[in-house]
Amino acid sequence: MHGTVGPEAARTEEVSSVRHNTLRELDRFVRMQIAKSSGGMSSISYSVAWFDWASHLAIAPGAQIELGLETLTATMRAWERTLNGTSRAQDGNPPFSVPGFDPLNPVKFLERYVEELDHLVDKAAYVPKGVSAKNRQRVRFGAHQAVDAMRPDNFFPLNADAIEQTVKEGGMNVVRGWMNWLGDMHRLTQVDGAPKQTDGKFQVGKNLAATPGKIVYRNHLIELIQYEPQTDEVYAEPILFVPAWIMKYYILDLSPANSLVKYLVSKGHTVFMISWRNPTAEDADLGFDDYRTLGVLSALETVKSLCKDRNIHAVGYCLGGTLLAISAGALARDGDTSLASVTLLAAQTDFRDPGELSIFIDEDQLEWLDASMSSKGFLEAEQMAGAFLLLRARELFWRRFQRSYLLGQKDESFDLSVWNEDTTRMPYKMHSEYLRRLFLHNDFVQGQFDVDGRPVAVSDIRAPIFALGTEKDHVAPWRSVFKINLFADCDVTFALTNGGHNAGVVSPPEKQHRHHRIHTKNDYDHYIGPDAWLQTSEYRVGSWWPSWADWLAERSSKKQKPAKLQRADVDTNELKSSEKLPLAPGAYIRQT
């Protein structure tokens, strides 16, 4: 009779299970209601971080004295700089080197004092011992946000430029600032949830995402664009771009002067681009593997069918690069050799040190995000945009606040700012999976990321890799991106360019003040760390684009006559055979 369960026991177990699920749903419902008002952000993690820091500081009198002395020193340095008329950026300049400077102006002292506090925050977060690394990071981040908010320029009576402008214009800048604020509040509460900085100067399909091409394939998740050839001959191996699903693809095809796609086509490459669908509630159950199969694998199959089974140069940007690396590893593991090369642009494979984004990611925060997404089936675009805004609040929020509301100015839009505001949603399942499996548990580099029931690893990739990091990347820090050199067992060419996550990638050769470093590690070379790499890599003046184009050309066959653009003959193509090929940029990019 052992191992059998009687009717009464089974009924009790069933009741217990129902009660458990009901109570968990109650918890989720409460969390969902709170998450609606907090934008999906949990206050618990940050409260715990401050409690951890304050508790350790409370039992450390030495640390308290040290912080007190540092604060006194910061005050004295601020006063000294006020008298000398210098800021931290001008440290070492002779006294009174700033023309027209009034050392008795208290606002100048406040400016210097806030500068000193900004540097003091970095020390203060690390003074008490015993605080966890993530809690220190959160305390430091929160303190920097507070210091940024305290800057005198954020307050009208203390903003010299605003006062001068008011006198000069008779207060019209105040009127314009008020109208700007009213317009932003209207959009924030009634329209699409975010103040806009664009003025209609740039439009998708006209002077953005305007490189000529056609949609040659479509399924529920992607449209695949093939661009028109612009040279008499093209390299035999095509290029396939896999952009991140958290953004519109056309950061890679901005205005003609800033278009990486246009640059490659002009160099004789056949270029394909994935354009992701903007998901809705009906796409809530689309997961990471759907993006791999319906996205990367479907695109690869289509490109091969159109290019006579030629090997493909695959390129992934940001999280699209992570998705591509996983897909490339699985293909190589299973004996598929169709990739001629793999290029990863500002893309991480190891998420142990994912940068400042990690402050938003832990089990508690993901539970709140899940609760926030569960009612709609997707993550609102504004929630992700808000997280990126916080990472660069001084540049993206407070400076715009001063220009728009205090000075009454309207920002003139440019291509990258328009793209930055053209945000996308993310399906519930996909967003939850990649945050947990990659950012939280780092499954890929630990050999715990299963594809088709078997683990896949970076070392499975056999095609040569070109990896790009950017010096000022807040999203994918270059030292984290650099770890591809540690985990890959193939040739890796790593390049480091100046700029940030977006502006560093968008780097046409005509742009001034560009530079990059580059070095190739062959599969038999020993690993060297990022600091040693900086010393041994080749420094080059100018954009990284030509260096990459040369790298691609070296791994491509001789040029041939370009093929005519046509509908892909694959079973999963939703384009009708009788339908005229839609023109790029297609329909999915216009979904709002």
Average pLDDT over residues 18-35: 64
**Number of compact structural domains in the chain:** 3
252/342 same-domain check: yes
100 pLDDT more than 50: no
Q: Average pLDDT, stretch 409-437?
A: 89
What integer pLDDT is reported at residue 191 of this predicted model?
A: 46
Confidence of residue 199 (pLDDT cuts 50, 70, 90): low
Q: Is residue 168 part of a domain?
A: no
pLDDT greater at residue 107 or residue 341: 341
Q: Could you tell me which residues come within 8 angstroms of residue 409 by beta carbon, excluding any fewer than 6 positions away? A: 173, 176, 403
The pLDDT value recorded for residue 455 is 96
Q: How confident is the model at residue 21 (pLDDT cuts 50, 70, 90)?
A: low
Is residue 552 within 8 A of residue 239, CB to CB? The reply is yes
If asked whether residues 321 and 458 sit together in one domain, one would say yes
Task: Determine whether 468 is exposed, middle or buried from the number of CB atoms within 10 Å of its CB (0-12, 13-18, 19+).
Answer: buried
Q: Write down the pLDDT at residue 24.
A: 64
Q: What pLDDT shows up at residue 354?
A: 84
What is the residue range of 433's domain? 1-38+353-380+425-441
| Spatial separation of the C-alpha atoms in residues 336 and 340, rounded to whole Å | 11
The last residue of a domain, from among 391, 414, 441:
441
Which pLDDT does position 413 carry in this prediction?
Answer: 81
318 catalytically annotated:
yes
Statement: residue 99 has pLDDT above 60:
no
Counting residues of the chain whose pLDDT is more than 90, the rounded percentage is: 65
* CA-wise closest residue to 277 among 261, 295, 302: 295
Q: Is 161 helix (H, G, I), strand (E, B) or coil?
A: helix
SS3 91: coil
Q: Are residues 534 and 586 in the same domain?
A: yes
Query: Which of these three, 126, 150, 174, is where a domain ends?
Result: 150
Let me know whether 230 and 297 are in one domain.
yes
- Reply yes or no on whether the pLDDT at 391 is more than 90: no
Residue 322 lies in a domain: yes
DSSP 423: B
pLDDT of residue 406: 92
CATH of the domain at 558: 3.40.50.1820
Choose the final residue of a domain: 441, 467, 493.
Answer: 441
49 falls within a domain:
yes
**222 and 294 in contact (C-beta within 8 Å)?**
yes
- Which pLDDT score, from 0 to 100, does residue 196 have? 54
The pLDDT-based confidence of 12 (bands split at 50, 70, 90) is confident
User: Is residue 193, in this structure, part of any structural domain at all?
Assistant: no
| Chain segment 442-481, per-residue pLDDT in tens | 999 999 999 999 999 999 999 999 999 999 998 899 999 9
Identify whether the C-beta of residue 531 lies closer than 8 Å to the C-beta of residue 180.
Answer: no
pLDDT in tens, 217-255: 999 999 999 999 999 999 999 999 999 998 999 999 999
Please report the pLDDT score of residue 97 as a whole number.
43
Task: Check residues 97 and 163 and name the one with the higher pLDDT.
Answer: 163
Cβ–Cβ under 8 Å, residues 141 and 356:
yes
Of these ranges, 125-134, 259-268, 387-396, the one predicted with the greatest mean pLDDT is 259-268
| pLDDT value for 18 | 63
Is residue 164 included in any domain, yes or no?
no
Same domain, 313 and 462: yes
Q: Are residues 573 and 517 in the same domain?
A: yes
The pLDDT assigned to 1 comes to 44
Q: Is residue 521 part of a domain?
A: yes
For residues 14 and 65, membership in a common domain is answered with no
Average pLDDT along the chain: 88
Kindly state whether residues 481 and 577 are assigned to the same domain.
Answer: yes
- Asked if 9 and 82 sit in the same domain, the reply is no
Burial track 348-376 (b if 16+ CB lie within 10 A, e otherwise): bbbbeebbbbbbbbbeebbbbbbbbbbee
pLDDT digits (tens, 9 = 90+) for 169-195: 999 999 999 998 888 887 766 544 444
Q: Indicate whether 117 and 31 sit together in one domain.
A: no
Q: Kindly report, residue by residue over 293-348, the tens digit of the pLDDT.
A: 999 999 999 999 999 889 999 999 999 999 999 999 999 999 999 999 999 999 99
- Contact criterion met (CB below 8 Å) for 217 and 225: no
Q: Domain check: are 554 and 435 in the same one?
A: no
What pLDDT does residue 364 have? 82
Name the token pair of 530: 């990022």
Three-state SS letters, 425-458: CEEHHHHHHHHHHHHHCCCCCCCCEEECCEEECH
Q: What angle do CA 106, 107, 109 make, to 5 degrees?
A: 65
CB burial of 477-515 (b: ≥16 within 10 Å; e: otherwise) equals bbbbbbbbbebbebbbbbbbbbbbbbebbbbbeeeeebb
* Whole-number Å distance between alpha carbons of 283 and 53: 41
Distances (CA, A) of 196 to 185, 257, 382, 420: 11, 24, 12, 10
Same domain, 337 and 359: no
- Please indicate whether residue 547 or residue 362 has the higher confidence score (pLDDT): 547
Q: Which of 125, 273, 296, 318 is catalytic?
A: 318
Identify which of 356, 219, 187, 382 has the alpha carbon closest to the alpha carbon of residue 294.
219
In a domain, 191, yes or no: no
Name the pairing type of β-strands 339-345 and 492-497.
unpaired
Residue spans of alpha helices (H) in 151-234: 160-169, 172-190
Residue 550: per-residue pLDDT: 97
With CA atoms as reference, report the closest residue to 406 among 221, 195, 584, 174.
174
pLDDT higher than threshold 80 for residue 201: yes
In a domain, residue 365? The reply is yes
DSSP class of 510: T
pLDDT average, residue stretch 519-528: 94
Q: Which long-range contacts (CB under 8 A, 24 or more apart) does 157-163 make?
A: 158/107, 158/110, 159/402, 159/406, 160/107, 161/402, 161/406, 161/407, 162/402, 162/406, 162/407
33 CB-near residues (< 8 Å, 6+ apart): none
